[in-house]
Amino acid sequence: MTTNPILEELWKIKDDLAREAGYDTHQFFENLRKWATEHPHSGPVVRNAAELRQLVAEKGAQQYPQLSPKAALVRETPLRKRKPR
């Protein structure tokens, strides 16, 4: 069986946080609230797909002003694969 290093790291962090809270969910969330007040979120908050599209379009326009607004669109469905000739 192959291991996934990303999942291994997530499980380790989860176990460390649970151990730190004494495996008590109330204590875990109290620790989480304390951490959140000490480390306020400074970036934009995206609540839905429409806001994400708007944010991507704005960032794309700032970074690449020479491109048209359609160049920063996010596709809802993946492109279909072409059949080999």
45 is a domain residue: no
HEC-encoded secondary structure of the chain? CCCCHHHHHHHHHHHHHHHHCCCCHHHHHHHHHHHHHHCCCCCCCCCCHHHHHHHHHHHHHHHCCCCCHHHHCCCCCCCCCCCCC
What is the total count of domains within the chain? 1
50 is a domain residue: no
What is the predicted pLDDT for the residue at 44? 87
Q: Which residues constitute the domain of residue 18? A: 5-38
Mean per-residue pLDDT, 49-77: 75
78 is a domain residue: no
Mean per-residue pLDDT, 43-63: 86
77 is a domain residue: no
Write down the pTM of the prediction: 0.49
**pLDDT digits over 13-47, tens only?**
999 999 999 999 999 999 999 999 999 988 888 99
14 is a domain residue: yes
15 is a domain residue: yes
More confident residue, 72 or 12: 12
